[in-house]
């Protein structure tokens, strides 16, 4: 089995109005699926943390820190996110390494 590496994917809404005016009914369903996807990956030990900025403008972003065995597998995890797959959000994936981890 390959050693797991850390990655981060940064999410941004594809439609700014989802943040400034509120989500459409379809976006609301997709975002619910997005959260369920991340929760499932967290329970499986893949996602280490996920969250978003508490702003609602063009600078708003979410991020997911997770583990994967390769760059390609990491991209598949991000692309498998329902919000990305359905075009509600776009994701950029980067190799990442947690240097300091505090206590929660």
Output the domain CATH number for residue 80. Answer: 3.30.70.1060
Residue 58 lies in a domain: yes
Please classify residue 66 by burial: count the beta carbons closer than 10 Å to its beta carbon, then call 0-12 exposed, 13-18 middle and 19+ buried: buried
- The pTM of this model reads 0.94
Q: What is the DSSP letter of 40?
A: H
Instruction: Assess whether pLDDT exceeds 70 at residue 1.
Output: no
Q: What is the pLDDT of residues 52-86, one digit of tens each?
A: 999 999 999 999 999 999 999 999 999 999 999 99
Give the pLDDT of residue 93: 98
Enclosing domain of residue 65: 5-96
- Provide the number of structural domains found in the chain: 1
* CA–CA separation, 101 and 20 (whole Å): 33
Q: What is the pLDDT of residues 21-58, one digit of tens each?
A: 999 999 999 999 999 999 999 999 999 999 999 999 99
């Amino acid at each position: 089995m390959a050693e797991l590496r850390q990655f981060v994917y940064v999410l941004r809404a594809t439609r700014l109005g989802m943040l400034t005016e509120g989500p459409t009914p379809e976006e609301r369903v997709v975002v619910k699926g997005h959260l369920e996807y991340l929760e499932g990956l967290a329970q499986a030990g893949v996602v280490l943390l996920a969250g978003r900025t508490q702003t609602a403008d063009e600078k708003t972003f979410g991020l997911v820190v997770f583990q994967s065995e390769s760059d390609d597998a990491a991209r598949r995890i991000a692309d498998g996110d329902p919000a990305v797959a359905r075009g509600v959000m776009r994701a950029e994936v980067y190799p990442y390494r947690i240097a300091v981890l505090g206590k929660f």
